[in-house]
Amino acid sequence: MHVTPSRHRPADANGLSDEQVADRLQKFGPNKIEQKERSAIIQFLLFMWNPLSWIMEIAAVVSIALSNGEGQPPDWQDFIGILFLLIINSVIGFVEKRRAGNAVKALMKSLAPECQAKRNGKWVTIDASQLVPGDIVSIKLGNIIPADARIISTPGGSIAVDQAALTGESLPVKKKVSDEVFSSTICKQGEAEAIIVGTGINTFFGRAAKIVGEAGDEAGHLQKILAKIGNFCICGIVIFIVAEILVMYAGFHYSYRRGINNILVLLIGGIPIAMPTVLSVTLALGAKELSDRKAIVTRITAIEELAAVTILCSDKTGTLTLNKLTIDIPTIVRYSTVSAEDIIRYAAYACAPQNHDAIDACVLSSFSEVNFIRDGIEVLSFIPFDPVNKRTEITYRQLSNSIIHRVTKGMSDTVLNLCTKDKTDEQVRKLKSDVERHAQRGFRSLAVALDDDGGSGYKLIGLLPIMDPPRKDTSETIKRAQELGVQVKMITGDQLAIAIETGRRLGMGTTMFVYNLLREDNLLSEYKTIDDVIVHADGFAGVYPEHKYEIVQRLQNLGHFVAMTGDGVNDAPALSKSNVGIAVSDACDAARAASAIVLTEPGLSVIIDAILGSRQIFQHRVQASQTPNKWNLFEIFTYAIVYGLYMSVSTLVFFAVIVKTDFFQRTFGLETFQQNDDGYNNPILHTIIYLQVSTVSQALIFITRSRGFFFSDRPAVILVCAFLITQICVTLIAVYADWDWTNIRGCGWTWAGIVWIWNIIWFFPFDLLKFGLQALFAKSTTVVNPFQWRRRRSIFPSPSFKVRPSTTTSGAETTILKRLSIVGATYYEPYTDMPSD
């Protein structure tokens, strides 16, 4: 809690003087959230200051400054291409970075612009940013609380404050003298005077905005992965450049320009210059697909992180539930012969005709035709709800028999005190027991009493249980999430009893805690640490913004990928901190700005569809995985090195057969390269090797995209078309090109046919190589990783992970080829680290 000198100091009845205000403004600062705006140009240029960009910049300098020698001009083509990719990569990073600032700006919109404060003994209207601790402010119906304050007086004994912006609670909270009210909350009922105890960044709301800004400064998971890949490539480049300089210049005495050209090839070809751009385009296409699933992606790198999510922290109100109070008809308690339907009808009579509060709206929602509820009666008088009486009352004449009736509804104790007919000690005990039982289940109780002859006294007829019911599809959606390896946790600002009842109805568990009460010294015996509680809990109640942030942070520190849903200002810090922040369909601007994904339909099912879609996108359009997808860089580098070595061997063997034997020349009557004056630098030989390398390297996509044999999964039409178009162009260039500036010459159709046949022969063993690596990693997983896996299972509730269904069929129905493909699919983990029991 933030503490200021005035928190427990009695307020001066005349308010602060101008001198005191000036002194405290100097000491505490203005009541606003300061934003340190960094120059957009500087921020953009910083994205060109990282290891990968350094190598690109070095390559650009080499191409333009060091490549001009021996009568040849600088390499302008490479310079322009490198510069273009460098700018594109920086633009993408810059746009992503600016989102954090947008989130804080959206939060600022929730602050009150002006307020009534007592200064020098007079009430004056001032800008809310000029408030200081110790100021006395006036709070009236509809006012936004301008800063954290403590109530010092209220004519009605209490006020009702809507704290949805902070806690997500669906009903206003009563505040009496000495209670605190928080910045950005709204007064819904009553009037009060309060003393300011916290301003600016020292308010609950200010800390939320600060957290959002800090969370936005963190690098995303995909950026970290790309940095690791880039560093790996940079290390390789440095080693090969040093080796090439020693071999070319010291060993073979290459000319300056020829050596520089080779170094430039290593710089450009050895680093993934276009990787960020290509990945961004791919993810942008994926974002389009997710938009068809009612999920708008505002940060495209979130697609990769969504595929890896292991825990989904969901806000209760509006996501798991309808965010609409309703009467739970099966649990209505009757204290007379009046039916449950008539009890609701009598309660509807006692609702205000206009300006319905949350309770009245709940009662009236039980009827399809609200305008006809009072047909058949004549209203004689109506007493609206007020904080003192805590009830409403209607007196009406029944038109069918002219009998006058009275009905009252409200707080159980208040209504019970009015009842005089058929009132017994047993009924009093039962009412209190029923109210307590409802409270334990998270229900709010509304008592209804009837005076059926207009003066003989009230008789208690029923107790209406009110709750925010779960969505119809939420329970099934939670089961789907668990089958996908995603644990769903409820994070709510509501009371513990409400959270437990919601969890029970949804089948997600009832192991709930009040997060603010968790301490290392008061944990239950089965939990050793707070982290242990957070992992095992099904949800948390009474949660404030910083608590949500801390829950997400602790789960991330335990190695989980966390998605967080929310709709209000209170969710913005956790949305920014989580790996994937998800704003639900009716979210406020602050929540949308802090989120990576915005839903256009309500409910949890849209999120699960988005997770499935992201896994399919992340797996390069193969069937979506049933477990979270995570990067395993060791496997990725291993596959890349092995595939690269295999392709290099195919090229070296092909080259050796051409220049060291006369097989092709003797078989097809082609020109020999053995006695050629140009030696191995023959332009036609350059073209042949160019065609061989181009076709085999681009065909590798069909190997890596499939879990089994490359032909077991039909590729997308656009992928096949792209491959065919590029290969036709490459082949035509190899056959007909005669470009002196590239030192290549057309090789003819015969050599082109030989190259294609050679690559096809070498292409088929790729699958066997892939299966061998898959089996190798699967074996190492079963030997080493069970220790890690047991640990994950020990801290993860068992329903969260399901054994992957077997894909095998009976031996009589499965061919040997199909079995091999199935085995390959079972062990396929080249891009992921997916637990598979």
The amino acid present at 463, given as its one-letter code, is: L
Q: Where are the domains of the chain?
A: 40-107+216-273, 281-323+473-618, 327-467, 632-837
Q: From the CB of residue 269, how many other CB atoms can be counted at a distance below 10 Å? A: 11
The amino acid present at 440, given as its one-letter code, is: Q
The amino acid present at 752, given as its one-letter code, is: A
Question: Residues 420, 423, 429, 431: is their CA dihedral positive or negative?
Answer: negative
Q: Which residues of the chain have pLDDT under 50?
A: 1-10, 100, 621-624, 781-837
Task: Give the relative orientation of helices 204-216 and 545-557 as an angle to the nearest 10 degrees.
Answer: 30
Half-sphere exposure of 770 (CA within 13 A, CB side): 27
DSSP secondary structure letter of residue 471: P
Decide the pairing of beta strands 173-175 and 148-153: unpaired
Distance from C-alpha of 603 to C-alpha of 319, rounded to nearest angstrom: 5
Distance from C-alpha of 562 to C-alpha of 313, rounded to nearest angstrom: 7
Q: From the CB of residue 222, how many other CB atoms can be counted at a distance below 10 Å? A: 22
pLDDT tens digits for range 378-434: 999 998 887 677 899 999 999 988 889 999 999 998 999 999 898 899 999 999 999
Buried (b) or exposed (e) across 20-51, using 16+ Cβ within 10 A? bbeebbeebeebbbeeeeeeeeebbeebbebe
Residue 344 tokens read as: 């609701």
Domain 632-837 has CATH 1.20.1110.10: yes
Q: Which pLDDT value is given to residue 575? A: 87
Phi, psi of 447 (to 5 degrees): -85, 145
Q: From the CB of residue 672, how many other CB atoms can be counted at a distance below 10 Å? A: 13
Q: Which pLDDT value is given to residue 2? A: 37
Task: Give the relative orientation of helices 717-736 and 748-763 as an angle to the nearest 10 degrees.
Answer: 140
Buried (b) or exposed (e) across 493-520, using 16+ Cβ within 10 A? bbbbbbbbbbbbbbebbeebbebeebee
Class of domain 327-467: alpha beta
Tell me the sheet residues that pair with 581.
564
pLDDT tens digits for range 764-789: 888 888 888 888 877 554 333 333 33
Q: What is the DSSP string of 563-620?
A: EEEE-SGGGHHHHHHSSEEEE-TT--HHHHHH-SEEESS-SSHHHHHHHHHHHHHHTT
Give the closest residue to 317 by CA, choosing from 587, 49, 61, 536.
Answer: 587
Is residue 315 annotated as part of the catalytic site, yes or no? yes
The amino acid present at 756, given as its one-letter code, is: W
The single residue listed with the structure tokens 């919109």 is 109
Q: Which pLDDT value is given to residue 205? A: 74
Q: From the CB of residue 212, how many other CB atoms can be counted at a distance below 10 Å? A: 28
Distance from C-alpha of 592 to C-alpha of 589, rounded to nearest angstrom: 5
Active-site residue (options: 75, 148, 315, 767): 315
Residue 836 tokens read as: 């598979």
The single residue listed with the structure tokens 């979210």 is 587
Residue 473 tokens read as: 């599809």
Q: Helix (H) and strand (E) counts for the chain?
A: 30, 26
Q: Looking at domain 281-323+473-618, which of 3.10.20.30, 3.30.70.100, 3.40.50.1000, 2.20.25.240 is its CATH number? A: 3.40.50.1000
As a whole number of Å, the end-to-end CA separation of the chain is: 45
Phi, psi of 685 (to 5 degrees): -65, -40
